[in-house]
Each structure stands twice: as structure tokens, then as C-alpha cells.
Amino acid sequence: MQNAYFPSLIPMSFLAREAAHVEGFAPELAVVTSGGGKELEEPLAVRPTSETVVNHMFAQWIKSRRDLPLMLNQWCNVVRWEMRTRPFVRTTEFLWQEGHTAHASAGEATRTAVDFVELYARFAREVAAIPVIAGRKSRAESFAGADTTFTIEAMMGDGRALQAGTSHDLGSNFAKAFGTRFAGGEDGTADESGLSFVHQSSWGVSTRMVGGVIMAHGDDGGARLPPALAPVQVIIIPIFKKGADSEAVVGAANALAAACASIGVRAKVDAEADKTPGWKYAHWEVKGVPLRAEVGPRDVEAGRCAVSRRDLPRGEGRVEGGLPLDPAAFASGAADLLDQVQASLLAQATAFRDSRIRDVSSYEELKAAVGEGFWARGSWAGSDADEAKVKEETGATLRCFPFEQQGSGACFMTGKEGGEVAVFAKSY
């Protein structure tokens, strides 16, 4: 994989060359029509995503089998004109990572798309502590221009679904629109000139993941950050009266932070003298710092300090016995507690998700489940029209066909056999 960067202003003619793509994004485009005080000869779209401009270059870079696979990644801002915005989750402009690949065979492109959605799922579970469901989108919910879209779906604290990351098997749709062909193909797809169209994938996650972490784990006290993600994993608060014992207390706190840093634990000392300890507790609680240590004169004398965990409710998060003030022992104990907090947040989110998914065997059961704020899971063999009916009548969309299928029966909507297990839910 190589990092790259492409222009943010894309000629409208690029978008028009892939009809399904421009049709899908047309309502969300921000378009520049003048520049330098003059009308532009051709309007420029502020990129909603980069498939078209990437493919314009792929067509020039790829000439033979030796040029493949070509795999690029970029971090950039994109713009989608949202009528109703939500912080992090649905904003007009957002930062994301987007990958684009070109392959010699359809199988390679499909495997790449699946590999990356599974990578996103692993990141969500192991780092963000969000137990996402990975699967395939329906045709109606797939990315414009893709043969197949894969997704990770996360349940938020209000029960709604958040599409937290996607990958797309683009087939040869963009390659055909932009003429991206290569010599030396081995799958029998070459034309009379001996050239074959490439097969492609694209995939991305955005700052929406930040919103997902906040909404999946947060409580009435603020954010609760998984230690693997938290910028500050341990906040150390010295407690002292001005001029009395301050040097010993702050010195002890700084020694703890230094010992944490030496083993890779991100610790910070809040020694501001113009804020009370209570103000500091609330401030860092809102920010979701996983562990809080309090060091006062008595703690220095006793050789131990009080420690609280953010993943547990107030009153329950106090660690019995605290941690020793010996720097090395404190850092080791803090690291162990951080592992426990990480596992605890994932377990809590998993238990909540599982308690809010209801298996259904009829459309009436789906409507009841969705109406009560549940995700509905059941066998589906319905048509696009059936899917549209569910959305119109319940507000729920088909979130995905999970990769992990649990034996399906008759479709709850049509009664047809041979469907796949699908998950329906209201989303953002």
C-alpha cells in the first residue's frame, strides 16, 4: 500500500463518465461554478469521494500486468451537502481515510474489499471496543457504482445503527468508464487487442468513528474512552494546599507519569493550582480518561494512592486498595487496569447490543421490534420493492447480511425459502 494525495476539485465531466456514481451523489454535491471572478468553463465538484479522479490517473499509470496490483491510500477531507447535520456522524465536511486498488482479476478485488472491511471490524472491536457486525449491504444500500458494498454496523447507546466503515467491490465499472486496461491478463477477459479491464476496490473510515466511540460508550458523565484510543490514559491529580507539601506531592505525581511513559502508558499530571480537585475530577471525567489517580500528602506518607476507573459507574469505579506510589509498581498496575477497562467496555457494549437484537419470523414481529427500538434479525428473500416498503413503513433499513450467518428459514416478509439472515434497524 502506498500513500497518495489527489485534488479536491473534480471536473463534473469525470463524475458524469460513471453514470451510477454521479446519480448516487448528485444530491450531495457541492459545486464550484466560478473562480477568479469568472464563470468556469466546466463546473468543479468538491470531492464527495475520489473514485473518478483516481481512475483518471489509473488509466494513465496502468498499462500491463506488471503494474498490478496498484494499491493507494489517502487521508483527505471530503464534502457531502447534508441537509441535516449531526456532530461527527453526518457533517457536510469530514476527514477520512480512503483506499483505492486495481487488480488483474475479479477475485483479487473482491478479496481486497473483504479483507479491508474485516480489518475495520478488527479495529472497531480490538481498539475502539465496539462490537460491530460485519456483512454485505443490499443492492439498495450499496455505494453508487459498486457491484457489492461491505460494511461494519455498530449499535449506539440509543439503539440506532451506525455505518462505521465500508468497503466496495467496484468490479470493472470505473475501469470501463475511464478506459483502464492492461496487457497480459490471464482470466480470458482480454478483447481483440489483447487488453483487459482492471478490477477494483475502494474502502474508507471517517471521523464518524469518533462519534461512534462517544455514542457507543458515553454515559451521563461524558465520554468513556477505550484505553487503546484514549489520548490520555491516566490522569494524575496532585492534591495539596498552596505552599504546604506541594513539592513532595507534585514530585511524586511527576514520577508516576514518567514511569508510565517509560512503558508506553500515556499519563498526564494536572497540577494547575487555580482549579479545585473536584473541578478536575469532573473535567477529566467528561473527557473520558480511563483511569484517574489522586496523590495527596497522606498518600505520599502511606506509599499508596487512590485510583478510579471510568468504565464503571461513580462509586463503583474506585479500585480497592488503590495502587502503590512506587513508580515502577504504579505503572505496571496501571497497565493491568487499562487492559481490564478495555475488556470491560467491549463486554458492556456487546451485552447491550445482544440485548437489543430481536429475532423475528414475520413482518409484524419486525414492525413491533423496530417500534420498540430493537434491531430486527431474520431470514430475508425479499425484493428491492419489499425492502423499500420496510423502510417506508417502519423507518428501518436493511443494515447488512452478516458474514456470520445463523441458519436461515423462510423469509419473514415473503415466506420464500432460501433467504439469508439480514439485520434491519433505524440508523443515522
Whole-angstrom Cα distance, residue 165 to residue 128? 13
- 403 and 254 within one domain: no
Sheet of 161-171, strand order: 2-3, 70-79, 93-103, 199-206, 161-171, 148-155, 133-136, 397-402, 420-425, 375-380, 357-359
- 265 and 175 within one domain: no
Number of structural domains, the chain?
Answer: 3
Which residues are CB-neighbours of 141 under 8 A, at least 6 positions away?
Answer: 149, 397, 398, 399
CATH assignment at residue 27 = 3.30.930.10
Tell me if 103 sits within 8 A of 68, measured CB to CB: yes
Which ranges constitute the DSSP H helices of 144-294?
Answer: 173-178, 208-217, 246-262, 277-286
Residue 321 domain-assigned (yes or no): yes
- 68 and 196 within one domain: yes
Residue 240 domain-assigned (yes or no): yes
Cα-Cα-Cα-Cα torsion 48, 154, 210, 205, nearest 10 degrees, comes to: -40
Whole-angstrom Cα distance, residue 215 to residue 230? 15
CATH assignment at residue 410 = 3.30.110.30
- Which residues form the domain of 183? 2-217
- 201 and 119 within one domain: yes
- 115 and 75 within one domain: yes
Whole-angstrom Cα distance, residue 49 to residue 29? 10
- 287 and 211 within one domain: no
Whole-angstrom Cα distance, residue 75 to residue 112? 19
- 275 and 166 within one domain: no
Strands (DSSP E) found in 30-92: 30-35, 38-46, 70-79
Whole-angstrom Cα distance, residue 292 to residue 232? 10
- 13 and 139 within one domain: yes
List phi, psi (to 5°) of 114. Answer: -70, -40
One digit per residue, the tens of pLDDT, for the chain of length 428 reads 999 999 999 999 998 887 766 677 777 899 999 999 999 999 999 999 999 999 999 999 999 999 999 999 999 999 998 888 888 888 999 999 999 999 999 999 999 999 999 999 999 999 999 999 999 999 999 998 899 999 999 999 999 999 999 999 999 999 999 999 999 876 656 676 789 999 999 999 999 999 999 999 999 999 999 999 999 999 999 998 766 678 899 999 999 999 999 999 999 999 998 899 999 999 999 999 999 999 999 999 999 999 999 999 988 999 999 999 999 999 999 999 999 999 999 999 999 999 999 999 999 999 999 999 999 999 999 999 999 999 999 999 999 999 999 877 899 999 998 789 999 999 98
Whole-angstrom Cα distance, residue 405 to residue 385? 23
